Structure 1
Amino acid sequence: MVQERPVRIERRLAAILAADVAGYSRLMHRDEEATHAKLTSLLANSVAPAISEHGGRIVKNTGDGFLAEFPSAIEAVRAAVQFQVRTKELTAADEDQQRIAFRVGINVGDVIVEPHDVFGDSVNIAARLESIAEPGGICISSSAYDHIRDKVGIEFVDLGEQNLKNIALPVRAYAASPNSHRPATRAGGVGTSTRYRPRLSIVVLPLANLSGDPAQDYFVDGVTESLTTDLSRIRGSFVIGRHTAFSYRDKAIDLKRVGQDLNVCYVLEGSVQRGGNRFRVNVQLIDTETGSHLWADRFDKPISDLFEMQDEIVSRLANTLNAQLIAAEARRAERSSDPSALDLYFQGMARWNKSWTPVHMNQARSFFERALELEPDNVEALVAIAMVDAAIGSIVFADDPYKHFAAAEAASIKALFLDPQNAAAHMALGVVQLCTRRVAQGVAECEHALALNRNMAEAHSLFGIAKLLLGRPEETEAHVREALRLSPRDEGMHRWLGYVGLAKLHLGADAEAIEWLSRSLKANPNYPVAHFICAAAFALLGKMEEARAAAMEGLALDPTFAIRRFKNVWLSDDPICRAGSKRLVQGLVLAGVPEGDVHKVRK
């Protein structure tokens, strides 16, 4: 019997070009027919001729974009430049809010070929590169860059290694400046543009060893390398690789010049010094365009376990820098007349971090919704909406909390479908499960989040809430202390401190509850829930004047609050937790907090 040979799969090396329309959903929402007609015209009069002229073929259309294959990376880049320039010319008369602009990603690699499609990681990488390109811009992989180096007159910016969604290994990427689609200043060369700096671009310069002991170099370098890795996890960040950063070791440095040379917006620099049995680490974040210092901090730790201390320093720095960079980028985004999805995400996060009042929560949600209008599959915006809805339900800002829990779960599940390894999405789903009496599943999701991102201090604080819901409030404090150890100045620390205050009230330790809640309100006085819990604790201690004052503070921030909202949120079936919740309600009633729809404190 003759065994049939397996069907041969056709493969070949190719340059893959992926493109889509920036903000397509927003454009279609404004005017479906006009957007469809303009896109059809651009594809016919700008894109197709350029691809054909440079020996490529359009493999398939993807609704708001297309996939093309070329036998040459050089021709793929030339075609992209040609249709980007032509598209800009054809849309020059359009209003900003109605202008169509393509984002392009190009990669070179081995692909599986079928008559009307191509498959493989090389195709996926091109698509992911397209997603981080600027509107009107081109982003290429290092494999494509190696082919075009010194052969096209386009300026490219080295973006460093990028962690692309659903791609196992980092990919080094290069971006063409939107304004550099013309011959480079060096004949035929690929230079570095100073006109366009990627958002959230940063280089961690080697920390200086001031100890006078070369044996400590390994520790100092370890902190630098770990921090470089952890900062790359920040959404949208472009972190210069450590090999490039280490080329600046032991050199006199002009930080503005570093920004120009590497095309980065921010530099993190610092030093490590050993004195006796202690290490001191100084760090500062600098804006390379202005030279201004955005943030500085000092860490002073005993030498007990060098590597444990390194992890703690890196965790604290990464958590703090995340918030600092988001705030800086939100300020930049406010000046944009045509904000991108990333701009809107940063502005939403700035509202989220500012204070947890109904007004700010709704503002944050509005920014995230607008980001999703521009990019319906934006994972970070989906996660942010999930966290906002879970928060609105769990801290009793709404009369129907379970409607918000359902919306939060749907958003987090969609985010995980799009990016199964997204730590924040796992944590968001965990929050929803904790809030809907699925504590074991919620803890498992938070543990998964920590496995993906060991610096996620928020996940540790959620373990504290889980213990409260399981009827073990005495264990909450330890988990919150671990979160504070990892991120002692976190934007969310007021919530974590409030968790301990609530746990102490459940334990009947009302004076301790007030101490923790006072720390919470010192960290962020615009946190209405902490005011209400504090009012209950004062009332249970018989301090009625303080109780009513705290209730008034809470109602000033959330005038629609009523005790019935607490009763509507049934987070646990555990009898100990239920008893603690009843005790909280008792304190709220004594403090004169409204029980129904009358929004003023009873005298």
Structure 2
Amino acid sequence: MVAGLLFPYWRLILKQTDFNDRPRLRGNGLRYFFDDFSLDTDRRELCRGPEVIAIAPQVFDLLGYLIGNHERVVSKDDLISAIWQGRAVSDVALTTRLNAARKAIGDSGDEQRLIKTFPRKGVRFVGAVREAPTTVTVTGSPSPAAGKPSLVVLPFTNLSPDPAQDYFVDGVTESLTTDLSRMAGIFVIGRNTAFTYKGKHVDLKQVGRELGVRYMLEGSVQRAGSRMRINVQLIDAETGNHLWGERFDKQVADLFDMQDEIGARLANQLGTELVTVEAWRAARAPHADSMDLYFQGMAYRNRGTDPASLSQARTFFEQALRLDAANVEAMVGMADVDTMRAASMLIDRRAPMRVVEASLAGILAHTPNHARAHCLMGVVQIFTKRAAQGIAECERALELDRNLATAHAWIGLGKCYLGRAEETEAHIMEAFRLSPRDNKASSWLNTAGVAQSYLGADEAAARWFKRSIEVNRNIAPFVHFFLAAALAHLRRGEEARAFVQAGLILTPRFQHRPIPRKFPN
């Protein structure tokens, strides 16, 4: 899901509190400072100034090992032993992760400003490094489920007969923890704390009380031959009730790439489920606060882009801002609604898009690393004949949140407007890879149809448009009109006429010329 508000107060308490009402040192990690970056081994965060840099768990480990051993050249065998626990690793896999570490800190294989390769010897972190301990002493205990929604991802259980698969199972847990930590308004307990429960039979409600979290995610991973099965369950930590469950089956290919993909897919699916559960809880709260109202707004926004859902979502975002004018997530929610409304207009949309752009510019001036805000800015630019700029904004959003699947779909639309429609389908498929059951699927299918129309492939365009309508019968009326145009080009006039009529039912006030009794053949 997206980067957002993470409640600093609860981050402090949940990361540093001992739960036995006595002083205790939490964590024995280090914080490294280099260039304008910091790397916190306890919280497993790489930051550039105040900005948290998205980085895969294994790449984080590689970077941390190099920095921690910056006084010497580290050999390939050293890295394999430390990061992969001595397992066989190809040179390509090692190089890929080394390049990812360089990219995360603004370095490259050509510059080698911070990470230098010594031929036939190894690599060394050559940047100036300053170390500081992360240990903090505090006392006290938070009350169960207090504050804003919080979650712990418990270490997944390895159900495979091979205990050597533990490394993969742990990697899935870490990837999912990292991805969920970017969700707006949800605090996620750090990996190090969660892994203190690894291999233990625990009382889930007791763990919830100890950590002061509202939700818990537990799961298992089982490998059988060439297939991998993952089961996950979302649990209410206060009651122990199961709120949601999912099974994930996939062919085993590259385990490390699969680990990231599983984390991305689960994070996207779970993000929607958490919003739904939080909205249900907030609707029953005697005194809803600003973030409660935000979650209720997001629940309606996730239903789709039909006028009723967008209108209800905006009402909740407005109420949230009346309670807290600084609620950035509610601001972005309103901008999202207004962008979708303007994008679905069948007449000149420039004026409403200018209003949204001004709002997003203000949000990004104060919150420059908000992934969804960058993505929405990209949408505005794509729809106002600045597709190249819009694509760049969506790419920036993906740098901040690699799982923001909808950004890939908008890039695909932007490519259409740049005359590169043949590239669009690959972007749409990437969006579906990250979020196969996304509530925006109908919009993505429509974009694929638009691309085929640009290419003159009317049969393929009609198939995409029909799939879009099948997924969401209340989708914006212009999809019906696009389908009608494709069918008309295929000389299927009566079928085209039926879809024009269906589109007009969805927008009865749309000004149109009389529909011909029969389309020309």
Contact 1:352 1:364 in 2 (8 A): yes
Q: 1:390: Cα distance to partner? A: 2.0
Residues 178-208 of structure 1, C-alpha deviations (whole Å, 9 max, x = no match): xxxxxxxxxx9723423x4343311111111
Q: Secondary structure at the match of 1:247?
A: helix
Unaligned runs of 5+ in 2: 24-41, 54-137
Q: Once superposed, what is the RMSD of the aligned Cα atoms?
A: 3.3
Contact 1:500 1:516 in 2 (8 A): yes
Distance 1:563 1:316, change over 3 A: farther
Give the structure, 1 or 2, with the largest relative contact order (CA under 8 Å, sep 6 or more). 2
Report if aligned partners of 2:235, 2:242 keep a CA contact under 8 Å in 1. yes
**Contact 2:465–2:483 at 8 Å: present in 1 too?**
yes
Counterpart position of 2:390: 442
Are 1:532 and 2:481 matched, yes or no?
yes
Within the candidate set 327, 340, 352, 2:276 is matched to: 327
Partner of 1:561: 510
- TM-superposed CA distance for 1:406, in Å, is 0.9
Structure 1 distance, partners of 2:456, 2:202, is 58
Question: Which deviates the most, 440-449 or 365-374?
Answer: 365-374
Structure-2 separation of matches of 1:140 and 1:267: 19
State the distance in 1 between where 2:286 and 2:305 align.
Answer: 27
1:243-270 per-residue CA deviation (whole Å, 9 max, x = no partner) reads: 2211222222333333233222221111
| 1:243-301 residue CA offsets vs partner (Å, 9 max, x unmatched) | 22112222223333332332222211111111112222222222233433332222222
1:253 matches 2:136: no
**Aligned ranges 1:475-554 → 2 under 5 Å:** 475-528=423-476, 529-554=478-503
Q: Is the CA contact (8 Å cut-off) linking 1:377 and 1:418 kept in structure 2?
A: no
Cα 1:323–1:162, aligned 2, differ >3 Å: closer, same or farther?
A: farther
Corresponding position: 1:368 with 2:317: yes
Provide the rounded CA distance (Å) in 2 between the counterparts of 1:466 and 1:311: 26
Which AA in structure 1 matches 2:393?
E
Q: Which residue number in structure 1 is paired with residue 330 of structure 2?
A: 381
Q: 1:590 to 1:513 in 2, by over 3 A?
A: farther
Decide whether aligned partners of structure 1 residues 165 and 365 sit closer, same or farther in structure 2, where only a CA change above 3 A counts.
Answer: farther
1:227 Cα deviation from its structure 2 partner? 0.8
Query: Residues 449, 140 of structure 1: CA spacing in aligned structure 2 closer, same or farther, 3 A cutoff?
Result: closer
Q: Alignment length, in residue pairs?
A: 410
The amino acid that maps onto 2:253 is S
Where do 1:279-358 residues align within 5 Å? Answer: 279-358=228-307
After superposition, residues 35-46 of structure 1 pair within 5 angstroms as: none
Computing the radius of gyration from Cα coordinates, the structure with the larger value is: 1
Of stretches 235-244 and 365-374 in structure 1, the one that deviates more from structure 2 is: 365-374
- Kindly indicate whether the alpha-carbon contact (under 8 Å) linking 1:415 and 1:425 is maintained by their aligned counterparts in 2: yes
Within the candidate set 167, 173, 183, 2:50 is matched to 167
Q: CA deviation at 1:525?
A: 1.9
**Please, which moves more after superposition, 287-296 or 201-210?**
287-296
Contact 2:15 2:189 in 1 (8 A): no
Aligned 8 A contact 1:198 1:238 in 2:
no
- Hey, what's the Cα distance between the residues in 1 that align with 2:160 and 2:512? 58
Q: Secondary structure at 2:245's aligned position in 1?
A: strand
Quick one: structure 1 residues 539 and 337, their matched pair in 2 at CA, closer, same or farther if it must change by over 3 Å?
farther
Equivalent-residue separation in structure 1 for 2:183 and 2:159 (angstroms):
29
Residue 156 of structure 1 aligns with which residue? none
Is the alpha carbon distance of 1:357 and 1:460 closer, same or farther for their aligned partners in structure 2, counting shifts above 3 Å? same
Check 1:342–1:561 CA distance in 2 against 1; reply closer, same or farther (3 A cut): farther
Distance 1:434 1:321 in 2: 29
Instruction: Give the whole-Å Cα distance in 2 for the aligned partners of 1:308 and 1:191.
Output: 39
- Give 1:274's aligned residue: 223
**Which deviations, in whole Å up to 9, do the C-alpha atoms of 1:388-431 show, x marking residues without a partner?**
2222222216x551222112111211111111111111111111
The one-letter code of the counterpart of 1:190 is G
The corresponding residue for 1:193 is: 143
Partners of 2:479 and 2:448 in 1: CA distance: 11
Q: CA deviation at 1:507?
A: 2.5
Q: Displacement of 1:453 after TM fit? A: 1.0
Q: Distance in 1 between matches of 2:434 and 2:220?
A: 20
Counterpart of 1:228 in structure 2 is: 177
SS in 1 for 2:302: helix
1:464 aligns with one of 398, 404, 412 = 412
Aligned 8 A contact 2:223 2:229 in 1: yes
Q: How big is the shift at 1:458?
A: 0.9
Instruction: Output the amino acid matched with 1:554.
Output: G
One-letter code aligned to 2:479: A
Cα deviation, residue 499, structure 1:
0.5
The structural deviation recorded for 1:337 is 4.2
Q: Deviations over 1:355-384 (max 9, x none)?
A: 212222222222222222222232222222
Distance change >3 Å, CA 368–CA 537, structure 1 → 2 = same
Match of 1:241 among 161, 175, 190: 190
| Distance in 2 of aligned mates of 1:362 and 1:562 | 23
1:410 and 2:293 correspond:
no
Cα separation, 2, equivalents of 1:203 and 1:369: 31
Q: Residue 591 and residue 539 in structure 1: after superposition, are their counterparts in 2 closer, same or farther (change >3 A)?
A: farther
Q: 1:548 to 1:332 in 2, by over 3 A?
A: farther
Bigger drift between 441-450 and 533-542 goes to: 533-542
Shift of 1:150: 5.0
In 2, the alpha carbon distance for the partners of 1:216 and 1:354 equals 38
Give the aligned partner of residue 380 of structure 2.
432
Alpha-carbon distance in 1 for matches of 2:182, 2:398: 13
